Amino acid sequence: MTETVKKPKRGRKPEGASSSRQDVAVPALGPIGMLRWAWTQLTSMRTALLLLLLLAVAAVPGSLFPQRPANPAVVTQYLKDHADYGPWLDKLQLFDVYSSYWFSAIYLLLFISLIGCIIPRARAHWKALRTAPPRTPRRISRLPQYGTLVIPAAQGATASSALADAAAVLKGRRYRVDTRDTDGERPHLGAEVGYVREIGNLVFHTSLVGVLVSVAIGGLFGYSGQRTLVEGETFVNTLVGYDQFSPGTDFQSAWLSPYSVQLDKFDVRYDRESVKQFGQPIDFNASVTTKDSPDAPAQKQTLKVNDPLEIGGTGLYLVGNGYAPVITVRDGKGNVALQGPVPAIPTDAVYTSTMVIKVPDAQPDQLGFVGFFLPAAQLNDAGIAYSADPDPLKPQLNLNSYYGDLGLNSGSPQNVYNLDVKNLKQLNGRDLPAKGIVLDAGQTYKLPDGKGSITFDGLKRFIAIDIRHNPGQVPALIFALVAVGGLVISLYTGRRRAWVRTGTAEDGRVMVEYGLLARGEDHGLARETARIRKALQERWGLDGPAGGSTAGTPADNG
């Protein structure tokens, strides 16, 4: 443990240096002194520890409150539900924790502290790498690991030949050795091994900075977007091809490469074997045809969950799916005002889906429909339709209808999955004489008052894909791997110092004493000492108990 207590000195040479200066400057610290003092504090090990713990605490609220980047709609809903204190939470940036001022302040301080830590330590280590191991302590016997050996006079060894032997043994064990006083009465040596431990530590901490920078690069130069794609539709990678697009801070639309992806077919398999998970999906499989550019040859590929498509420098990820009933709506004049698949948003495991159909082209009045799509419709005891299974066993639409002004011309952006009924009159509904619209596949329903008709022609599936490009991803991975490498090296190599002193007794025997000291956590020091002792014994043809006279704590108590 002694080493642990001493350790904070390590790599903080500047602090030691400045503290002596501080003593002088105490009466009037002055602005420079203040800065110096603040810097010393910031880069101290204790501050690093506190900032780390603070970072852990600060990350927690992000899991307690909905976060805007991930779930903007949930945040809006939360603010509506908690009108009293919601806005206060919002002021405290609790819905944007990871981009908040306070969270950023903590990690930036931590990383400044980290850099302020790395640089002086790297410099100190660079020096240590080029200077001889430290001088031999006067009393080796005080070291945590200590032992003696005696070479009988019959061997004809001398103090200096024994020291040379010890140096050879230590060099063989990859120590850097510095022999001193070789011709003196009591020659001695200092040796050190495991410089790589500190290097590992520095590499680890530096790589953390690398990871942070890579993530920042991703935020600057990356982009992401979403698109729902019904069977038969094609996505072309241009800005208009996206349903939603979030560019990075420095994005330029010229970066989009004009590839295309057509969804040919989407297959889903459900679990029909188990009881509790009956009807749970076990396979999603999207067959697509891709083209790298408009003139490139078409390629058949499959897109699955956990198995993205790589194309044009982006990744395409299958993140959702649902049904898209094919609808035909005729208006009051008998013209086809809408024809095609309309994606319905699934709300549960059996794909009970909400549907919104807007028919802006209907004449003389615009038409709108809201309701449910049920893949396997059944009636419950109360006469309410529900879906019994995710497979399309009996697809059915349950809709209310409206006519009037859909409000699409006002220019303000509208959610396609939301019908604003403010300026609409209801035609169909549970409480109206005309009742709601119930349509099975192939059926047509005539709207009241000659407003037109709606036909449920058939069923297609749609998929939701995320399209992403993140140039920070690969560097982040590389830095992370390097970090782990450094971590492992720094945790599992021991940095050790060894000293040996020899002397010749009057009767011609050569006395050897040796001692070892670890820098940093090192549970293998006792084992190392035993190995060195054994190597020395072999060299001098001695025998005896392996760890014989090793003083100090019981061997290897970790």
Partner 1 sequence: MPGLNFELGSYSELFMLLAAGTYTVAFIAFAWDLAKSSATLRAIDERAARQQGKATVTVAAKQLVGAGAPAAPSSGTGSASGTTAVTADSSMRYSGERRAPARVAVALTILAALIHGAGVISRGFAAGRVPWGNMYEFLTTGAWLVAVVFLLVLLRRDLRFVGTFVMALVIIMLVAASVAFWTPVGHLVPALQSYWLVIHVSIAVLSSALFTLTFSMSVLQLLQSRREGQLALGRDDKLMFMRLVPDALSLENFSYRINTIAFVGWTFTLMFGAIWAEKAWGRFWGWDTKEVWTFVIWVVYAGYLHARATRGWTGTRAAWLSIVGYLCVVFNFTIVNQYFNGLHSYSGL
Applying CB under 6 A, which residues contact ligand HEM?
Answer: 11, 43, 45, 48, 52, 110, 113-114, 117, 201, 204-205, 208, 487, 490-491, 520-521
- State the binding partner of 59 from partner 1, ligand HEM, none, CB within 5 to 8 A by kind: partner 1
127 vs 304, beta carbon nearer ligand HEM: 127
532-to-165, 191, 477, 493 alpha-carbon distances in Å: 12, 12, 40, 17
Instruction: State the nearest-atom distance from the C-beta of 276 to partner 1, in Å.
Output: 5
Instruction: State the nearest-atom distance from the C-beta of 18 to ligand HEM, in Å.
Output: 15
Instruction: State the nearest-atom distance from the C-beta of 519 to partner 1, in Å.
Output: 11
- State the binding partner of 446 from partner 1, ligand HEM, none, CB within 5 to 8 A by kind: none
Say what the alpha-carbon torsion angle 94, 96, 98, 100 is, to the nearest 10 degrees. Answer: -80
CB-side exposure of 329: number of CA atoms within 13 Å? 25
The per-residue b/e assignment along 300-313, b for 16 or more CB within 10 angstroms, e otherwise, is ebebeeeebbebbe
Instruction: State the nearest-atom distance from the C-beta of 53 to partner 1, in Å.
Output: 5
Measured CA to CA, the distance from residue 546 to residue 537 in angstroms comes to: 9
Instruction: Report the residue closest to ligand HEM, judged by CB.
Output: 117
- State the binding partner of 67 from partner 1, ligand HEM, none, CB within 5 to 8 A by kind: partner 1
Kind and range of the H or E element at 284? strand 281-291
- State the binding partner of 117 from ligand HEM, partner 1, none, CB within 5 to 8 A by kind: ligand HEM
113 vs 228, beta carbon nearer ligand HEM: 113
3-state secondary structure of 197: helix
Rg for the chain (alpha carbons), in Å? 38
Q: In this structure, are strands 495-504 and 510-519 parallel, antiparallel, or unpaired?
A: antiparallel
313 vs 450, beta carbon nearer partner 1: 313
Instruction: State the nearest-atom distance from the C-beta of 221 to ligand HEM, in Å.
Output: 23
Instruction: State the nearest-atom distance from the C-beta of 3 to ligand HEM, in Å.
Output: 9
Residue type, 441: A
- State the binding partner of 4 from ligand HEM, partner 1, none, CB within 5 to 8 A by kind: partner 1
Residues 161/204, Cβ–Cβ less than 8 Å: no
Instruction: State the nearest-atom distance from the C-beta of 24 to partner 1, in Å.
Output: 24
Write the DSSP string, 60-103: THHHHS--TTT-HHHHHHHHHHTTTTHHHHHHTTTTSGGGSHHH
- State the binding partner of 339 from ligand HEM, partner 1, none, CB within 5 to 8 A by kind: none
15 vs 165, beta carbon nearer partner 1: 15
46 vs 130, beta carbon nearer partner 1: 46
Q: Which two tokens stand for residue 24?
A: 């002088």
187 vs 200, beta carbon nearer ligand HEM: 200
Residues in contact with partner 1 by the rule CB under 8 A:
1, 4-5, 7-8, 45-46, 48-49, 52-53, 55-56, 59-60, 62-63, 67, 69-70, 97-98, 215, 224, 271, 273-277, 280-284, 304-308, 315, 317, 319, 466-468, 470, 473, 476-477, 480-481, 483-484, 487-488, 491-492, 520-521, 523, 553-558
Instruction: State the nearest-atom distance from the C-beta of 72 to partner 1, in Å.
Output: 14
1 vs 32, beta carbon nearer partner 1: 1
Instruction: State the nearest-atom distance from the C-beta of 98 to ligand HEM, in Å.
Output: 15
Residue 548: which of 10, 558, 532, 30 has the closest Cα? 532
Task: Give the position of tokens 């501050």.
Answer: 47
Instruction: State the nearest-atom distance from the C-beta of 37 to partner 1, in Å.
Output: 19
375 vs 486, beta carbon nearer ligand HEM: 486
Measured CA to CA, the distance from residue 22 to residue 322 in angstroms comes to: 69
Measured CA to CA, the distance from residue 454 to residue 362 in angstroms comes to: 12
Please list, in sequence order, all residues whose beta carbon lies within 8 angstroms of the beta carbon of residue 50, skipping any fewer than 6 positions away. Answer: none
- State the binding partner of 523 from partner 1, ligand HEM, none, CB within 5 to 8 A by kind: partner 1
48 vs 399, beta carbon nearer partner 1: 48
Beta bridge partners of 314: 311
Q: What are phi and psi of 243, to 5 degrees?
A: -80, -35
Instruction: State the nearest-atom distance from the C-beta of 95 to ligand HEM, in Å.
Output: 25
Q: Which of 372-379's residues contact partners 24+ apart within 8 Å by CB, and which partners?
A: 372/344, 372/397, 372/398, 372/399, 373/323, 373/325, 373/344, 373/397, 373/398, 374/398, 375/323, 375/350, 375/351, 376/350, 377/440
460 vs 495, beta carbon nearer ligand HEM: 495
Measured CA to CA, the distance from residue 355 to residue 437 in angstroms comes to: 13
25 vs 305, beta carbon nearer partner 1: 305
- State the binding partner of 306 from partner 1, ligand HEM, none, CB within 5 to 8 A by kind: partner 1
